[in-house]
């Protein structure tokens, strides 16, 4: 009996220790990959490296921190190496630009401390082992890294350069390959997968990116033990975060802003200097001031009468519809046609900016459809006040990098004078005037755009958009020579914001009038004060990365619970053993109990004595169980590192234990066993003292068969319901169908067991000639099984339930299906954004040139991609910031036709027929601040904490404390999109305005060209780190997790079943002992030993086979329709494995029944016949 | 011509000291149609003799032949078959199988070597009729009285028309009326079947109705 208790306790302890081990392994992995790094600042903009020293010098910082180091981090670099067979490439490589101080963050323990033998110098690189293996490279070889090229105009702006966004750093020599542990697996993402990391010097990156003296990250470590689990450490960590936020004081320039005083004065003929304008302009190195900075600037500068300016490029201004000029014969004056490539400023009329008309009268505020032209423009286009003018411009946001032209018409409200210079602009020298310039003579209303505003002629523009040089007339170039970026027209700021404002911002500069007290410094301070008081970080904030990742290491899956569930049958079988063995023990000592009762002990007291005795045995068994449990956990972990590694993706688990788990396992094991013992004793209370004294502790052995009409009816009803449910299930889909089939199978199982029960209860219901016509021994064995129907049905039930679950669960096994991939054969991700539309011929031409036709007849949808945690089953960490993918209208419309292959949905909020036909439409239905989101059900159920379902609303905090609220409108079923949140593209752009371009792709290759398309795209888009995979392969990887859990369950279930067979052997042995008189009689009547053995063996086999068959038949109902509908395929190997598993159980069961057979042969015939 | 011949049969059990002699020099003969009662105090070796003659136990020395065949020369399967075909047992405790009906219980010896033939089934029905239980043939033992159970046991013992019918205290657990009825039934059946009947009993009433009465004392058999 102690062995039974030990088995139960071992399983409990083992499961709890597996949970401990997973949590502690994840935790240690977190501590290992972060070393001493506690808080980090990573941003996509560059700031002064001195900021690190300034931070480190702050008292507030030194209170809790002891180190701050500069770094340049790129989480999505691409690395290439030349190898013998060509070029090997790794994408999504973390590129770390660091100095020696970085390695100071290595773990305190010397075994964790990893640092390169040689720090990378100029043109040198250190890679971790994982990257070296992936690239198939080693020390001494040369590799190339490719990175995004740093601060730029947001790439989705038409004025941004799309082609020069990647910097390559070739010829880097690998000076060391460090092991992928400690800082060698440094990563800011919570994942158990080994990251690919490359380390270079900060200077190498600064040179390559033209960011001298600048960095984009700061790493810090606290001066206390932040890895401690204590509440005090947690509180200190939070206090440290607050302190760090106070200590961190970026300068004005660190926000990418600059301030400049703009003045224009004119010395008139009398030698008197007249100030035309004098103001400070605040601009951004990204051309447009980001919305958060704009909000701070407005508050900071409004008291100083500052005003926002939005200057935008007008492709044409004119009254004519034809955009193209009609050239006149040479030397015959100016060309006709609209004005090309002009600046138009949106600025409100104010006391500080009041344009005058040609009469010298101030121009009033402009209505939305009004425009002020400068004289040059009006004359050029022969426009006068009241005329309508048409302004053509690029839409402020591009889709797939294509600038779309739009236009607006305005009424000319006034014409403002513009003075022509006497000397035009020259390189490094402004224009000179003989006549006094006007307020409109202000090129500084336009922000600087490298390659455009600094060029001498329009024709020299290195423009990010396609300049139509046919539009550029000679007088346009003349204007550029005389006035450069001076606006040719003015509209109200509101109009400019409406037409040209975007998610990247609504103003290009702030214009603050110069006063006596205003200085560049005072303006900077005013801005910084506002930033500090508003609490906005403007993209520069620290993330408590260690605290977050330690919280995430609590894991997505409670492994202890999972393994308790997986070990259910072992526990049940162990308890059954406890029950049987204790009862056998008690029954053997029935005469002792009888004696105790006969001498006057109360039954309660007698039972307490026995229970106490059992408890004592259980206590000892429990101790053995704890020891065995440790071994069991170790074995489970070994399994997870090897056979079941699919469940956890990488073999990283190590054995860890806690006293708490040992104690809980021990107490739970012993208590459950004692309860089982008490329950088993309960059955003895109805046995008379006389019988107990005679050593008989079994229920009366007379068998009375009764009609079981009601039970028969019930069982038939249950079977009918089961079949009904199976019919209903055919109409259901996916998981619901599998669950319904399983439910129907479970009902069928119940029905079958009830039928067996009624049949046994009625003694088989056979006529008088039972033994005629062969099978006599089998019939006799069957009758023997019917002798104690309760015992037999319990045995059959245990076997049946176990085999039912083991077989039935295979219906939940997943195989990649078209519905999981929505009809797409490839899924791809790129390290850098791609702007071209692969669904258009032009886009294909641009990216694939002469190979564009390879994609002909295929589809390639691109998605914006906000990097984040992989919230799929592949990641064991809890994901707090899941990655987000935008769903564009093109993709949604793709699913409108009825005949298109589509994703399978688990549940949606679709109400209308259109929505039901295409639930992707739900994404566009945003009703409040919650963004409609579609999630794969696995992400919704297992990765998000708490789990969400359709209708759930939840809020996540993305970097820079950006809270985003979501509303789940649909759940995809087992899709390739698992691990991400899917939202509408417009909502995405608003929420993650910093994300430009497209990095995620779903591709439907032309039939049979999957491989060719993969090779082509990976080759042509190698700079962008394009990495494509077959959707079936991705699905297989995702499903491997669930499938492996099922394998684990099935294996552990089978183990439990095997343990159950030993219980069965014990039951049979008891049966044999109880019936020894009968067996002796059979011997006396001429039964040979062999025949008797065969009979007992047959009895065992009957119970075993009935159990396994009943369970398998019921499970077949759950599995087979599923297979026939083709919605889940059960691989032949699985069927083979299941059959082998059940066969093994049968064989072990039969072998273990030899015990009872031997017992039957050892029955002393004479003694038994005499009733001794 | 005697069909059962027992010569100088002895049975000893090894103990730590002297061997325990239960039977010594037991000889007897019995012809077809004869019956005999073995009397004696408890522990005198009556049942041991019965079990040896029933081939459930082996003698230490001496011989016993049934229809000129010495069963103790047979191996286990042959011995089982010998027992099945030639010997019928009736015990004090009926040892009916509770899960089987009256008919099935009677047919149990027919299961020792395959399935019962139609002939055997017919004989079982006939025997049940003869023991007066034809209307109870599909009843379970739990639905029968003690006397009825013993009658079923008697029918079971006769299913294969045994040469030798051995009864160990067949009326030991019955009340007087039932015991008398059982005694009559046994004798009637023995007469009808022309079998040899050996009864081990304490009951003088039963013994008095037998052709022969032998008493076992000090391991020896003597006429009474």
Q: pLDDT for A697-718, tens place per residue?
A: 655 444 455 556 777 788 888 8
**What pLDDT is stored for residue A1131 in this prediction?**
61
- Residue A597 corresponds to which tokens in the numbers above? 């009762």
CB A514 within 8 A of CB A264: no
3-state secondary structure of A324: coil
Instruction: Answer yes or no: do B110 and A771 touch at CB < 8 A.
Output: yes
Chain A residues with CB-CB distance to B160 below 8 A: 1086
CA A593 vs. chain centroid, Å, equals 62
Residue-level pLDDT at A300: 93
Chain segment A910-939, per-residue pLDDT in tens: 889 889 899 999 999 888 889 999 999 888
Inform me whether the C-beta atom of residue A1090 falls under 8 Å from chain B C-beta atoms: yes
Domain boundaries, chain A: 1-32+554-700, 39-250, 255-534, 822-1037
- Cα distance between residue B164 and residue B51, in whole Å: 12
Q: What confidence category does residue A260 fall into, taking pLDDT thresholds of 50, 70 and 90?
A: very high
Q: Is A1161 on the interface with B (CB under 8 A)?
A: no
Query: Of the candidates A101, A76, A80, which has an alpha carbon nearest to the alpha carbon of residue A89?
Result: A80
> Is beta strand A998-1004 parallel, antiparallel or unpaired with respect to B212-217?
unpaired
Can you tell me the mean pLDDT for A646-659?
A: 77
Q: How distant is the Cα of B178 from the closest Cα of chain A, in angstroms?
A: 21
Contact yes or no for A504/A286 (Cβ under 8 A): yes
Instruction: Return the pLDDT at A738.
Output: 62
Would you give the DSSP letter of residue A368?
T
**Which site among A774, A782, A1078, A1085 would you substitute to test the B interface, given the most B Cβ atoms closer than 10 Å to its Cβ?**
A1085
Chain A CB contacts of B43 under 8 Å are none
Query: Residue range A22-43: average pLDDT?
Result: 86
In order of A275, A567, A656, A782, A940, the CA distances from A8 in angstroms are 93, 10, 20, 32, 34
The yes-or-no verdict on residue A171 having pLDDT over 70 is yes
Domain B4-223, CATH class in plain words = alpha beta
d(CA A622, CA A633): 16
ipTM of the complex: 0.91
Query: Are A1080 and B110 within 8 A, CB to CB?
Result: no
Question: If you ran DSSP here, which 8-state letter would residue A529 be given?
Answer: H
Residue A706 confidence (pLDDT):
57
Note whether A1166 contacts B: Cβ–Cβ < 8 A.
yes
Interface probe for A, chosen from B100, B103, B105, B116 (most Cβ of A below 10 Å), is B100
Task: Give yes or no for residue A1026 having a pLDDT over 50.
Answer: yes
CB contact under 8 A, B140 and A703: yes
E strand spans, A849-927 = 859-863, 865-866, 883-887, 905-908
Give backbone dihedrals phi and psi of A765, rounded to 5 degrees, phi first: 60, 30
Among A607-611, A742-746, A1117-1121, where is mean pLDDT lowest? Answer: A1117-1121
pLDDT computed for residue A162 by the predictor: 58
User: Mean pLDDT over residues A233-238, rounded?
Assistant: 87
Contact A1086 B51 (CB under 8 A): no
State both tokens at A92: 């999504």
Distance from CA of A765 to the nearest CA of B (A): 11
Phi and psi at residue A225, in whole multiples of 5°? -80, 95
Measured CA to CA, the distance from residue A45 to residue A154 in angstroms comes to 11
Chain B residue with minimum CA distance to A1077: B95
**Whole-angstrom Cα distance, residue A407 to residue A369?**
12
Distance CA A942, CA A833 (A): 30
Q: Look at A771 and B111 and tell me if their CB atoms are within 8 Å.
A: yes
> B26 to chain A nearest CA, in Å?
20
Residue A100 CA to residue A571 CA, distance in Å, equals 54
Per the structure block, which two tokens stand in for A312?
């935008």
> What sign does the CA torsion over A435, A438, A441, A444 have?
positive
Q: Over the stretch A389-417, which tens digit does the pLDDT of each residue have?
A: 999 998 887 766 667 889 999 999 999 99
The 3-state DSSP composition of chain B as helix, strand, coil percent (nearest 5) reads 40, 25, 35
On chain A, the residues whose CB falls within 8 A of the CB of B112 are 1082, 1085-1088, 1091
- Determine the 3-state secondary structure of A1137 from DSSP: helix
pLDDT for the residue A700: 46
User: Which of A346-360, A527-541, A765-779 is predicted with the least confidence, judged by mean pLDDT?
Assistant: A765-779
Confidence class for position A607, pLDDT limits 50, 70, 90: confident
Residues near A426 by beta carbon (within 8 Å), at least 6 away in sequence: none
Give the chain A residue nearest B100 (alpha carbons): A783
Q: What is the pLDDT of residues A787-820, one digit of tens each?
A: 777 778 877 887 887 788 777 776 666 666 677 8
d(CA A263, CA A273): 12
Q: Is the pLDDT of residue A1122 over 70?
A: no
State whether A1086 and B81 contact (CB < 8 Å): yes
Are A70 and A99 a contacting pair, CB within 8 Å? yes
Q: Which of A705, A773, A1170 sits opposite B140 (nearest CB)?
A: A705
Tokens read off for A329: 């014969």
Give the nearest partner residue to B89 out of A775, A1077, A1084, using CB atoms.
A1084
- HEC states along A677-732? HHHHHHHHHHCCHHHHHCCCCCCCCCCCCCCCHHHHHHHHHHHHHHHHHHHHHHCC
- Inter-chain touch A1078–B95, beta carbons under 8 Å: yes
CB pair distance less than 8 Å for B140 and A774: no
Distance of alpha carbon A458 from alpha carbon A570, whole angstroms = 80
What does the mean pLDDT of chain A come to? 83
- Judging contacts by C-beta atoms under 8 Å, the chain B residues touching residue A775 are 115
Residue with token string 């951004």: A284
Mutation for testing the B interface, residue in A701, A777, A1084 having most B CBs under 10 Å: A1084
Chain A residues closer than 8 Å to B80 by CB: 1083, 1086-1089, 1091
The DSSP element (H or E) to which B151 belongs, if any, is: helix B146-158
pLDDT of A849 reads 82
Residue A1033: per-residue pLDDT: 84
Q: Which residue of A has its CA nearest to B114?
A: A776
Cα–Cα distance, A1019 to A156 (Å, whole number): 24
A703/B99 CB distance under 8 A: yes
A1087 near B CB under 8 A: yes
> Are A702 and B103 an interchain contact pair (Cβ–Cβ within 8 Å)?
no
Exposure on the CB side of residue B104, measured as CA atoms within 13 A:
25
Q: What local confidence, expressed as pLDDT, does residue A461 receive?
A: 82
A1034/A1000 Cα distance (integer angstroms): 14
Mean pLDDT value of segment B150-170: 91
Closest residue in B to A786 (Cα) is B99
What pLDDT is recorded for position A696? 64
For A1082, which of B57, B85, B108 is closest by C-beta distance?
A: B108
H helices then E strands: how many in chain A? 36, 28
3-state class (DSSP) for residue B136:
helix
Torsional class of A92: left (φ above 0), alpha (ψ -120 to 50), beta (otherwise): left
Average pLDDT value for residue range A513-521:
91
Alpha carbon distance A1052, A1109 (integer Å): 20
Residue that has been written with the tokens 């407005």 in this structure = A298
B104:A705 CB<8 A: no
Cα A271 from chain centroid (whole Å)? 71
> What is the separation of C-alpha A246 from the centre of its chain, rounded to a whole number of angstroms?
32
- Cβ of B111 within 8 Å of Cβ of A701? The answer is no
B contacts of A1088 (beta carbons < 8 Å) = 76-77, 80-81, 112
Query: What number of other Cβ atoms are within 10 A of residue A171's Cβ?
Result: 11
Q: Is the peptide bond before A946 cis (omega within 30 degrees of 0)?
A: yes
**Whether A72 contacts A202, CB under 8 Å:** yes
Q: Is the pLDDT of residue A1124 over 70?
A: no
Tell me the percentage of chain A whose pLDDT exceeds 70: 87
**pLDDT band with cut points at 50, 70 and 90 for residue A736:** low
Whether residue A296 contacts residue A531, with contact meaning beta carbons closer than 8 Å, is answered with yes
Q: How far apart are CA A1081 and CA A1064, in angstroms?
A: 25
Question: Nearest 5°: phi and psi at B94?
Answer: -55, -30
Nearest to B172 by CA among A1086, A1169, A1083: A1169
Beta-carbon-side half-sphere exposure of residue B14 (alpha carbons within 13 Å): 0
Q: Do B140 and A763 touch (CB under 8 A)?
A: yes
DSSP, residue by residue, A738-751: HHHHHHHHHHHHHH
C-alpha distance from A1118 to closest chain B C-alpha (Å)? 36
Q: What is the pTM of this model?
A: 0.72
Q: Mean pLDDT over residues B200-208, rounded?
A: 89
> What's the mean pLDDT in A1155-1172?
72
**What percent of chain A clears pLDDT 90, i.e. is strictly above it?**
28
A1086–B84: do the CB atoms touch at under 8 Å?
A: yes
Cβ distance A1031 to A827 under 8 Å?
Answer: yes
Q: Which of A706, A768, A784, A790 to mutate to test the interface with B (most CBs of B within 10 A)?
A: A768
Report yes or no: A1080 at the B interface, CB cutoff 8 Å.
Answer: yes
Interface check for A792 against chain B (CB to CB < 8 A): the answer is no
Q: What is the spatial distance between Cα A613 and Cα A596, in angstroms, rounded to a whole number? A: 15
Q: Which helix (H) or strand (E) holds A71?
A: strand A65-83
Instruction: Quickly tell me which residue has 């060509």 as its tokens.
Output: A86
User: What are φ and ψ of residue A605, in 5° steps?
Assistant: -65, -45
> What CA–CA distance (Å, rounded) separates A481 from A458?
9
The residue of B13, B115, B137 whose CB has the most chain A CBs within 10 angstroms, and thus the best one to mutate to test that interface, is B115
Q: Which helix (H) or strand (E) holds A298?
A: helix A291-301
pLDDT tens, residue by residue, A104-127: 888 655 556 788 988 999 899 999
Alpha-carbon distances of B19 from A170, A1142, B14, rounded to whole Å: 104, 54, 5
Look at residue A214 and give its three-state secondary structure. Answer: strand
Q: Which residues of B touch A1087 (CB under 8 A)?
A: 80, 84, 111-112
User: In this structure, how many other beta carbons lie within 10 angstroms of the beta carbon of residue A1124?
Assistant: 9
> What is the domain partition of chain B in residue ranges?
4-223
Q: Which of B83, B101, B111 sits opposite A768 (nearest CB)?
A: B101
User: Residue A331 pLDDT more than 50?
Assistant: no
Nearest residue, CB atoms, B77 vs list A784, A1088, A1169:
A1088
Are A764 and A786 in contact by the 8 Å Cβ rule? The answer is yes
Q: Contact at 8 Å (CB) between A1142 and A803? A: yes
């Amino acid at each position: 009996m102690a062995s039974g208790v030990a088995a139960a306790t071992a399983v409990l302890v083992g499961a709890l220790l597996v949970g401990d081990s997973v949590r502690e392994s994840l935790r240690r992995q977190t501590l290992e990959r972060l070393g001493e790094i506690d808080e980090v600042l990573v941003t996509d903009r560059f700031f002064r490296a001195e900021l690190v020293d300034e931070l480190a010098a702050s008292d507030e910082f030194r209170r809790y921190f002891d180190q701050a180091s500069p770094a340049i981090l790129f989480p999505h670099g691409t690395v290439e190496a030349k190898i013998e067979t060509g070029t090997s490439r790794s994408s999504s490589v973390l590129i770390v630009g660091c100095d020696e101080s970085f390695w100071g963050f290595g773990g305190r323990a010397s075994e964790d401390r990893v640092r390169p033998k040689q720090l990378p110098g100029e043109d040198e690189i250190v890679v971790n082992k994982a990257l070296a293996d992936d690239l198939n490279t080693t020390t001494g070889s040369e590799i190339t890294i490719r990175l995004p090229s740093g601060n730029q105009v947001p790439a989705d702006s038409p004025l941004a350069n799309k082609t020069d966004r990647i910097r390559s750093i070739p010829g880097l020599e690998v000076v060391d390959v460090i092991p992928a542990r400690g800082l060698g697996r440094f990563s800011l993402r919570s994942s158990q997968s080994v990251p690919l990391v490359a380390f270079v010097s900060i200077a190498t990156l600064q040179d390559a990116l033209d960011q001298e003296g600048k960095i984009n990250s700061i790493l810090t470590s606290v001066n206390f033990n932040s890895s401690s689990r204590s509440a005090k450490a947690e509180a200190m960590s939070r206090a440290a975060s607050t302190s760090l936020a106070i200590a961190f004081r970026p300068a004005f320039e660190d926000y990418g802003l600059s301030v400049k005083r703009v003045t224009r004065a004119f010395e008139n003929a009398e030698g008197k200097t007249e100030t035309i304008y004098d103001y400070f302009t605040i601009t951004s190195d990204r051309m447009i001031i980001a919305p958060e900075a704009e909000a701070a600037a407005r508050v900071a500068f409004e008291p100083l009468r500052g005003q926002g300016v939005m200057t935008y490029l007008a492709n044409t201004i004119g009254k004519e519809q034809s955009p193209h000029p009609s050239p006149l014969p040479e030397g015959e004056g100016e060309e006709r046609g609209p004005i090309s490539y002009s600046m138009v400023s949106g600025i409100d009329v104010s006391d500080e900016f009041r344009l005058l008309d040609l009469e010298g009268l101030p121009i009033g505020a402009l209505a939305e459809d009004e425009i002020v032209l400068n004289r040059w423009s009006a004359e050029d286009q022969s426009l006068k006040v009241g005329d309508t003018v048409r302004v053509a411009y690029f839409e402020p946001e591009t889709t797939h990098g294509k600038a779309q032209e739009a236009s607006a018409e305005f009424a000319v409200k006034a014409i403002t004078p513009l003075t022509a210079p006497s000397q035009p602009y020259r390189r490094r020298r402004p224009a000179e005037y003989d006549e006094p310039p006007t307020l409109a003579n202000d090129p500084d209303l336009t922000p600087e755009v490298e390659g455009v505003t600094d060029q001498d002629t329009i024709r020299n523009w290195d423009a990010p958009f396609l300049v139509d040089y046919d539009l550029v007339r000679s007088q346009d170039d003349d204007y550029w020579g005389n006035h450069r970026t001076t606006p040719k027209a003015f509209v109200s700021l509101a109009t400019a914001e409406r037409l040209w404002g975007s998610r990247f911002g609504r103003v290009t500069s702030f214009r603050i009038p110069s006063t006596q007290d205003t200085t560049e410094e005072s303006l900077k301070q005013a801005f910084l004060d506002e930033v500090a008081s508003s609490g906005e970080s403007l993209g520069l904030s620290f993330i408590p990365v260690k605290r977050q990742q330690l919280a995430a290491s609590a894991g997505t899956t409670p492994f202890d619970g999972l393994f308790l569930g997986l070990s259910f049958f072992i526990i049940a079988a162990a308890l059954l053993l406890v029950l049987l063995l204790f009862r056998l023990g008690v029954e053997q000592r029935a005469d002792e109990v009888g004696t105790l009762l006969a001498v006057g002990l109360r039954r309660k007291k007698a039972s307490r004595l026995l229970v106490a005795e059992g408890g004592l045995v259980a206590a000892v068994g429990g101790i053995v169980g704890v020891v065995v449990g440790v071994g069991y956990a170790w074995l489970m972990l070994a399994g997870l590192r090897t056979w079941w590694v699919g469940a956890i993706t990488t073999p990283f688990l190590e054995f860890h234990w806690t006293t708490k788990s040992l104690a809980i396992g021990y107490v739970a094991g012993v208590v459950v066993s004692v309860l089982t013992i008490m329950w088993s004793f309960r059955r003895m209370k109805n046995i008379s003292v006389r019988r107990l004294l005679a050593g008989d502790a079994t229920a009366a052995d007379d068998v009375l068969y009764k009609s079981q009409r009601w039970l028969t009816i019930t069982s038939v009803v249950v079977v009918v319901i089961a079949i009904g449910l199976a019919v209903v299930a055919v109409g259901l889909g996916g998981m619901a169908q599998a669950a319904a089939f399983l439910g129907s199978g479970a009902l069928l199982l119940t029905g079958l067991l009830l039928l067996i029960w009624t049949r046994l209860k009625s003694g088989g219901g056979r006529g008088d000639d039972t033994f005629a016509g062969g099978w006599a021994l089998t019939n006799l064995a069957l009758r023997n099984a019917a002798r104690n129907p309760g015992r037999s049905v319990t045995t059959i039930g245990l076997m049946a339930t176990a085999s039912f679950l083991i077989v039935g669960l295979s219906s939940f096994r997943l195989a990649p299906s078209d519905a999981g991939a929505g009809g797409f054969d490839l899924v791809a991700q790129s390290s850098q954004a791609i702007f071209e539309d692969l669904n258009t011929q032009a886009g294909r031409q641009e990216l694939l040139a002469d190979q564009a036709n390879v994609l002909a007849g295929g589809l390639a949808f691109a998605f914006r991609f906000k990097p984040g945690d992989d919230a799929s089953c592949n990641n064991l960490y809890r994901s707090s910031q899941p990655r987000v993918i935008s769903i564009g209208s093109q993709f949604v419309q793709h699913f409108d036709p009825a005949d298109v292959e589509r994703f399978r949905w688990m549940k949606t909020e679709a109400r209308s027929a259109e929505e039901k036909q295409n639930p992707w439409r739900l994404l566009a239905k945003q009703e409040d601040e919650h963004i409609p989101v579609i999630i794969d059900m696995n992400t919704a159920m297992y990765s998000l904490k708490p789990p969400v379902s359709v209708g759930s609303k939840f809020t996540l905090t993305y970097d820079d404390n950006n809270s985003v609220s979501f509303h789940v409108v649909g759940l995809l079923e087992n899709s390739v999109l698992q691990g991400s949140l899917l939202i509408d593209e417009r909502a995405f752009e608003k929420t993650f305005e910093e994300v430009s371009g497209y990095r995620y792709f779903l591709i439907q290759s032309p039939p049979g060209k999957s491989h060719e398309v993969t090779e082509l795209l990976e080759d042509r888009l190698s700079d962008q780190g394009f990495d494509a995979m077959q959707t079936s392969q991705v699905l297989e990887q995702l499903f491997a997790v669930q499938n492996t859990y099922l394998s684990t369950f099935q294996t552990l279930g089978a183990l439990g079943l095997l343990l159950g067979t030993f219980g069965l052997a014990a039951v049979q042995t008891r049966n044999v002992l109880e019936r020894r008189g009968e067996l002796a009689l059979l011997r006396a009547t001429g039964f040979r030993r062999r025949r008797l053995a065969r009979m007992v063996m047959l009895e065992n086999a009957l119970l075993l086979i009935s159990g396994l068959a009943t369970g398998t038949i019921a499970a077949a109902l759950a599995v087979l329709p599923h297979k026939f509908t083709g919605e889940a395929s059960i691989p032949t190997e699985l069927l083979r494995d299941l059959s082998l598993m059940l066969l093994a159980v049968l064989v072990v069961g039969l072998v273990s029944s030899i015990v009872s057979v031997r017992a039957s042969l050892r029955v002393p015939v004479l003694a038994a016949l005499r009733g001794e | 011509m005697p069909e059962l011949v027992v010569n100088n049969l002895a049975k000893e059990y090894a103990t730590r000291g002297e061997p325990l002699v239960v039977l010594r020099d037991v000889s007897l003969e019995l012809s077809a149609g004869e019956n005999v009662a073995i009397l004696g105090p408890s522990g005198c070796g009556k049942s041991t003799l019965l079990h040896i003659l029933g081939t459930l136990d082996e003698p230490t020395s001496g011989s016993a032949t049934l229809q000129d065949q010495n069963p103790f020369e047979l191996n286990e399967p042959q011995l089982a078959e010998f027992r099945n075909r030639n010997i019928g047992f009736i015990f004090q405790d009926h040892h009916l199988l509770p899960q089987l009906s009256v008919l099935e219980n009677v047919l149990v010896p027919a299961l020792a070597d395959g399935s019962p033939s139609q002939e055997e089934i017919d004989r079982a029905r006939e025997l049940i009729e003869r023991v007066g239980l034809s209307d109870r043939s599909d009843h379970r033992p739990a639905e029968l009285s003690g006397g009825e159970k013993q009658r079923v046991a008697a029918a079971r013992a006769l299913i294969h028309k045994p040469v030798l019918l051995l009864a160990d205290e067949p009326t030991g657990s019955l009340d007087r009326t039932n015991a008398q009825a059982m005694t009559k039934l046994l004798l009637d059946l023995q007469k009808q079947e022309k079998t040899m009947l050996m009864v081990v009993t304490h009951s003088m009433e039963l013994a008095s109705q037998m052709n022969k009465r032998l008493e076992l004392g000090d391991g020896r058999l003597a006429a009474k």
